[in-house]
Chains A and B, each alone.
Chain A
Amino acid sequence: MEIIAQIKDVSKQFGKIEALNSLSLEVKRGEAVALLGPNGAGKSTALSILVGLRQPSSGSVSLFGNPAGSAKAMSKIGVTPQVADFPDQITPREILQLAAAHFENPRPIDELINTFQLEKLANRQMRGFSGGERRKLALALSFIGNPKLIILDEPTSGLDAAGQKHFQQIAKDFVKQGGSLLLTSHYWQEIENIANRITMIDAGKTILSGVVSDIKAAVGLARISFSIKSPTKFVKENFQQQNNRYSMVSKDTDATIRQLVKQNELFTDLSIVPLALDEALEIYQKQNERN
Chain B
Amino acid sequence: MKETKMKKYIQHIIFQLKRLLRTPGFLAPAIIFPAMFYSFFGANMVPEGVYSQYSVASFCIYGVLSIAFYQFGVGIAQDRESAFDIWLKTLPASTIAKGIAQIISAMIFSLLAVGLVLLASIFLAKTQLNSEMVIRLLIICAIVAIPASLMGVALGYFSNSRAAPALANLIFLPLAFLGGLWIPPIGLPKIVDEISIWTPTRQMAELGWSAINGQMADNRTLMMFAGYTILFALIAFLLILRDRQRRFA
Contact = CB atoms under 8 A, between A and B. Distances in A.
B93 A81 contact: no
Contacts of A83: 83
A55 B90 contact: no
Contacts of B11: 97-98, 101
Interface stretch (B17-25, B143-151, B173-181): B17-25
Interface stretch (A86-94, A165-173, A239-247): A86-94
A143 B173 CA distance: 46
Interface string A116-128: 0000000001000
B15 A90 contact: yes
Contacts of B248: 53-55
A74 interface: yes
Contacts of A81: 83, 86-87, 90
Interface in A62-110: 71-72, 74-75, 77, 79, 81, 83-87, 89-90, 94, 97-99, 101-104
A77 B87 CA distance: 13
A51 to B, nearest CB: 5
B164 to A, nearest CB: 16
B12 interface: yes
B23 A89 contact: yes
Nearest to A73: B92
Contacts of A84: 83-84, 87
A85 B8 contact: no
Chain B interface residue number, banded: 20 to 34
B4 A54 contact: no
A104 B4 contact: yes
Chain A interface residue number, banded: 20 to 34
A99 B91 contact: yes
Contacts, number: 73
Contact of B18 (A72, A85, A90, A138): A90
Interface in B1-51: 1, 4, 7-8, 10-12, 15, 18-19, 22-23
B249 interface: yes
A70 B92 CA distance: 7
A82 to B, nearest CB: 9
B19 A103 contact: no
A163 B153 CA distance: 41
Contacts of B169: none
A103 B4 contact: yes
B90 A51 contact: yes
B84 to A, nearest CB: 5
Nearest to A79: B90
B22 A125 contact: yes
A87 B12 contact: no
B213 interface: no
Given A54-B249, A71-B92, A125-B22, A102 B8 contact: yes
Interface of B: 1, 4, 7-8, 10-12, 15, 18-19, 22-23, 82-84, 86-87, 89-94, 97, 248-249
11 contacts: A52-B89, A53-B86, A71-B92, A81-B83, A81-B90, A86-B84, A90-B18, A101-B10, A102-B94, A138-B87, A145-B91
Given A101-B11, A102-B92, A102-B94, 4 more contacts: A71-B93, A89-B19, A125-B22, A141-B87
